[in-house]
Structure 1
Amino acid sequence: MRIVVKVGTSTLAYATGRLNIRHTEQLVKVLSDLKNEGHEVILVSSGAIGMGVGKLSLPTRPKDTTTKQACAAVGQCELMYTYDRLFNAYNHTVAQILLTGVDVEDADRRQNVENTLNRLLELGALPIINENDTVATDEITSIGDNDTLAAIVACCAKADLLVLLSDIDGLYTANPHTHPEARLLPLVERITPEILALADGVGSSLGTGGMATKLRAAQLVTELGADMVIANGAHPELLYDIAAGRSAGTRFAARKED
């Protein structure tokens, strides 16, 4: 299969912004193993700003745009250096692609993105994609969050499966942080208004996404014929079950023709 995996800042980094070595190393190991099994893998990775916060020893994530851009510039170097070193240990070559809203909205530029992605996969590379946070700052150039970016990438790559690794096990009947009786939904066959109403709360202090962005991503990819799964990034080994079609997290089934 062609699989797009999105990993959030909360999986890659501690609240300090420093790298969560255990989670990152395990993620790379599992993704390398999936490639060895014959799957094509694309990684959409958050974490540039968060890691820049840690690298620059800032006390909290900045609120002003210029400092965010500076953190992204520093953090993206750290992020790709880490991925390159870890994937190289398993004999896999990584490639960096940084995108903005203009790159996916403009037809010619989007076609260039698709061509590059396909050629990298043909060459056996593992593309690692992030938003270009150093230049994407407004409503025109900014995609806004990496759940949406991952859905766009999955559509561009004509992926079979999108997996969003987050700090939650999946979609619940209510916010599990405030409703202990909430139940995990293992399968969502159709995204109804009732399902959309389950989105509640926001992400961690280092990231930008929440359940609402994940449900929008699910709408986008399932309508184009791919499955999407939300799973807990603290357990990258779940990717084995997800790739095999076994139950893990919440699976949103691809829309079938009526």
Structure 2
Amino acid sequence: MKIADRTFIISGGASGLGLATARDLHAHGAYVSLLDLNCDSGSQIVTELGKRAKFFETDVSNTESIADAIKGTTAWIKETGKTIGGVVTGAGVGLPGLIIDKKNEPVPIASIDFVLNINLRGTLDLIRQALPYMTTVEPAGPDGERGVIIMVASSAAFDGQMGQVAYAASKGAVASLTLPLARDLSRYGIRAVTIAPSVFDSNMTKLMGSKVKQSLANAMEFPKRAGQPEEFARTVKDCIENVMLNGTIIRLDGGMRMPARL
């Protein structure tokens, strides 16, 4: 599928992996609709990228907020004439917490809800609200493709560490829904792919202490470093352009398997 002159919706698009993805797709001629809560960053990015970028303040845990962003994006598409080509669900949070702590207190349900509402519910809600517009796009290419859904899981979906019960559950669910989503959308010529990165330089990893970062580096195979956002963005580009990538999960981790403890 061609990237140029297509519109891509990217949640979490004002920072980290989402921002790197937006910049890379934009560099290849795409129009990017950035959904994020960070208005200051979003405005700066639109100024940087110019007329082929649009920012919408969006809380992906809120259905109405997503609806407003989709409405704004589709109105923009009518102005530009650049049909929607895909959705990248990059918004995500991590909130560590043992299921039961040293004081024999269970993790607050509000903490679990916060992680699940953004990482899982927000992913599904954005996808379901974007799909009615994707299914009506004119099919393109010899395979009659309409677009692609690219979701973001994590290596924690497969080998989550202590304190990552809620996070691993949310990302494991995203990984699990990849194939059934691809099957649901096959009749429309829409693909579904999930990328599961390990430790990447992002706002989330910036909060880690030096000891934690060193422990993670020790667990890496090759290369022994955190992934770079640009490497994630390159994989997103491959997912868009390679029509045979469908219903699968791509581990982007340099062979790393998380240890049980840091």
Point out the structure with max Rg over C-alpha: 2
TM-score normalised to structure 2 length = 0.43
TM-score normalised to structure 1 length = 0.44
- Say which structure is richer in helix: 2
